[in-house]
Amino acid sequence: MDKFVIRGGNPLTGTIRVSGAKNSALPCMAAAILTEDEIILENIPQVWDIATQRRLLSSMGAEVRPADAPNSTTIRCRTLSDPVAKYEIVKTMRASSLVLGPLIARTGVARVAMPGGCAIGGRPIDLHIKGLEKMGVTITQEHGYLDARAERLHGAHIVFDKITVTGTEDLLMAAVLAEGETLMENCAREPEVADLAALLTAMGAKIEGAGTSTIRVQGVSRLHGARYRINPDRIEAGTFLVAGAITGGDLTVANCNPEHLSAVIAKLQEAGARVDILGPDSVRVRAGEQLRAAGISTEEYPGFPTDMQAQYMALATQAEGVSVIEENIFENRFMHVQELVRMGANIKVEGRTATVRGPAKLSAAAVMCSDLRASASLVLAALIADGESILDRVYHMDRGYERIEEKLAGVGAQIRRMGNIFPPRDEPADAA
Ligand code: EPZ
């Protein structure tokens, strides 16, 4: 099992570059199902979840291969010989929630393993199913699989009961080939939705309102190939901004989109970090005076992102005062708390609220990664802890952060990996 060894104490200085957004790449790769033409995607991060998505598409009959430029991938679903999202692939990454809609739209049939939950919550897909049924899909569930059929998808008026990112993306990919108009309300406004819509539009789809809570789609009879460059990963960028602030360094985060980081930048400034937008693709973070407590409440975009909650909590352990952190999106997203407490943090959890008292001196420890963003939180804590920490099960980190140890070492972190370089030779035993 891969481990990170991190010695704390070095301020991070210099420039660190952000990769493409994993959560844009995943739906954009699924969108290739919608056409028999070739889709070329650029700025794809080399992370475990992308490798899994490639395997899933190949298992269905897609031709998937690296494209001409680095971090690019070419996908061609000339035929889909086996439109099944198999459990042994889906269990490592909940990808089936993003192929259900496109498979139905393209082939009229789909058999996808129920994605199951993960460390942070139950992760149901009932809203995906509800929307697809309104578009004419018949869905049955048995033996852990969803079997979906539709003669021809037709447009519908869909109002999401809850805001769901992949629910919005899944149904958007169904709607673009459905007969007639689909109106979707209470949609997710995350930039990844707009990224997907931009690719679909380049493929010939007719979409209005992506990135807002109301999306209107005029179905078309077919879509054609396209080449598209994925947006930068706003969560990786936010993670690096916290790294610069928590280590008291002077770090420029390049290849990012500051417009997608407003809530994170505002909160870091409120907590006393000096954050300056240097241009359309870079942000500089420097230590201010003593970090001061500032609470967060995670919300759908453009609010403070749930995917940054764990990373912010590491920073809050160093802030003077009491920071109250509310996790409103997922029911179990405090797995990092006990590990931070083992390093000396003062955190109390009551339901979906964590109360962090700081500043607390953190000491190095052997800790366990439990999920993608919890892992990032532990890396951030280890970067300032006194001594050498060992982080186990870092494959969780490899799911969503590209070459994270090389990037951090490049700006002064004392971090090295023990074990295989990504991609790991064997699939992690419990990469659920
Ligand atoms: C996406 O997950 C992201 N994943 C998550 O990032 C992110 O944390 C999440 O959105 C929220 O921003 C990808 O884009 C691949 P949701 P998703 O549907 O779409 C409930 C990471 O760290 N819900 O927006 O699965 C659900 O339980 C990952 O990169 C239903 O009840 O999240 C949750 O409480 C983790 N029924 C809330 O909605 C449904 O049918 C928001 O979930 C769907 C969702």
Q: Indicate the top mutation candidate among 301, 329, 372, 398 to test ligand 1's pocket, ranked by most ligand atoms within 8 A of CB.
A: 329
Nearest 5°: the CA angle 72, 76, 79 is: 160
pTM of the predicted model as reported, rounded to 2 decimal places: 0.96
- pLDDT given at position 427: 44
For ligand 1, whether the C-beta of 231 sits within 6 Å is no
For ligand 1, whether the C-beta of 130 sits within 6 Å is no
The three-class DSSP label of residue 320 is strand
Note down pLDDT in tens along the chain; length 432 residues: 689 999 999 999 999 999 999 999 999 999 999 999 999 999 999 999 999 999 999 999 999 998 778 899 999 999 999 999 999 998 878 777 899 999 999 999 999 998 877 788 888 899 999 999 999 999 999 999 999 999 999 999 999 999 999 999 999 999 999 999 999 999 999 999 999 999 999 999 999 999 999 999 999 999 999 999 999 999 999 999 999 999 999 999 999 999 999 999 999 999 999 999 999 999 999 988 899 999 999 999 999 999 999 999 999 999 999 999 999 999 999 999 999 999 999 999 999 999 999 999 999 999 999 999 999 999 999 999 999 999 999 999 999 999 999 999 999 999 999 976 555 444 444 443
Q: Is the peptide bond before 302 cis (omega within 30 degrees of 0)?
A: yes
Place of tokens 């439109």: 83
Distance CA 82, CA 45 (A): 26
- Cβ-contact 17, 407 below 8 angstroms: yes
- Cβ-contact 305, 235 below 8 angstroms: yes
- pLDDT given at position 422: 58
Atom of ligand 1 nearest to the CA of 330: 34
Q: Report CA torsion sign: 105, 106, 112, 116.
A: negative
Place of tokens 């700025």: 43
Distance CA 281, CA 10 (A): 26
Q: Are strands 353-358 and 73-76 parallel, antiparallel or unpaired?
A: unpaired
Atom of ligand 1 nearest to the CA of 130: 40
CA 290 to centroid of ligand 1, rounded, Å: 35
- pLDDT given at position 432: 37
Atom of ligand 1 nearest to the CA of 118: 35
For ligand 1, whether the C-beta of 47 sits within 6 Å is no
Q: Are strands 250-254 and 282-286 parallel, antiparallel or unpaired?
A: antiparallel
For ligand 1, whether the C-beta of 26 sits within 6 Å is yes
Q: Report CA torsion sign: 235, 239, 245, 251.
A: negative
For ligand 1, whether the C-beta of 265 sits within 6 Å is no
Closest by CA to 246, choosing from 354, 340, 367, is: 340
Residue whose CA is at the smallest distance from ligand 1 atom 15: 23
Residue whose CA is at the smallest distance from ligand 1 atom 39: 125
Q: Give the catalytic positions in this structure.
A: 118
CA 329 to centroid of ligand 1, rounded, Å: 8
